[in-house]
Structure 1
C-alpha cells in the first residue's frame, strides 16, 4: 500500500539530500513530501525531522513555522525519524547559545563536547566531524541488516544526554560515550546523518520506511 512520508521543512536542514535519500529507498507509489504544513505532516504515514544549525536558531525557526505542536504530536503518534538537530531538540534544554529551551518531549540535556584527548591519546577536535562507530544498545527494527559498530557520518559540537537511560538506542565514543541514537515506541532519532552515510545509512532509512511499529 502506497504511503506518504513527510520531511519537515522549517528552513534549517539539508532537506534536498534527505528527501532524495528517502525517495531512493521507497517503494513505487510512495510519496515523499517536503513541507512545513502542520496538517500535511499530521496526515502523513511517516515523518522525517532533519535539522542543522544552532539550537536557538532551530527553535526560533520551528516557532516561526508554527510547527511545535505538530512535531510533538507526530513524534508520539506515527513512525518518526529525527536526524541531527531533529534528535537534539527533542530534549528539554541545550547548553548551546548560553542555554536554550527545547521542545521537551524527553527529559535530558544537550551538552557541549569536553574536548581533550581520546583513549589513545590523540587530541579531539570539535566539532566532531567525520565517520565514527555506532554501537546499538539493544535490538531494534531500524538496525536490521546493519552490523554493530558500523560507521556513520557525524557533524556536531553538542550531544544528547537523556535523563532516562532506556531511551538510548546506540552509543558512540568521542571523548565521552554519548547517545548517538534514541528510541521510544514509534520514534527513532539519530545524531549522525544517514543520508551521508553510504550503504548503512540508506539501509537505516529503508528500515524506517518499512518499519511496522505495531509488530
Structure 2
C-alpha cells in the first residue's frame, strides 16, 4: 500500500523514501487512536530513542575529538532531549500528520512537545527498520544539522542548571509555583514562577507546565548570573 499525498509530502520533508510505508503510518499513530488492527508508536519510540542516542554520541565524538566525557554528556543531553526532538518535529510539520484520537486533538495534541518528541523518535525508528542504521543516521544528521556543531559546551536543561547554581552556593533547590492558567481547555497557557531561597524570582508562560518551568528557570538563571 502506498502513502497518501500528505504522508508522501511528509516523507519528502523527512528525507526518506519508505520501502515499507506501514512503518511510517505506525510511527505517526498515537495511543489515543490505536486499536488491535492499528498499533501505536510506543514500541517504535523506545527503539528510536536508542538509535538517536547512538547516532548523536558518535556524531559528537567525531565533531570534537578532544572533548572529555564531562563536556560531551551535557551536549548529548541537549541534543536528544524531548524538547529538541519536538522542535525538529515542528520544523518538518510532523504535528500535521500525527494520528490522534479526538480528545487529544481537542486538547492541542498536535502542538504538545511530549507527543511531538515521542513521535519524532518513533519516526527515526521507522527509518531504521525500513533501511538500516546508515539511512537513519543520514536523516538524523540532516535534520539536526548545525545544532551538533553549535551546541553549547555547558548545555543543560535550564532547571538542572539553576539547581546546580543554587546548590553550588549552599542553597536548597528552586521552587516552581503555578500562578495562573489561562486560555481554553484545549490550548491552556500556564504561568510559572521560579523562586530561589534568596528571594530572586522570574516568571514565564508556555503551553505546558514543563515548558513554562524551563522558561522560568532560564529567565531566573540569566538574572542571577548577570546575563539579562
Q: TM-score range by the shorter chain?
A: under 0.3
Structure with greater helix percent = 2
**Which structure's CA Rg is the greater one?**
2
The structure that is strand-richer by fraction is 1
Q: TM-score, normalised by structure 2?
A: 0.24
Q: TM-score of the superposition, structure 1-length normalised?
A: 0.25
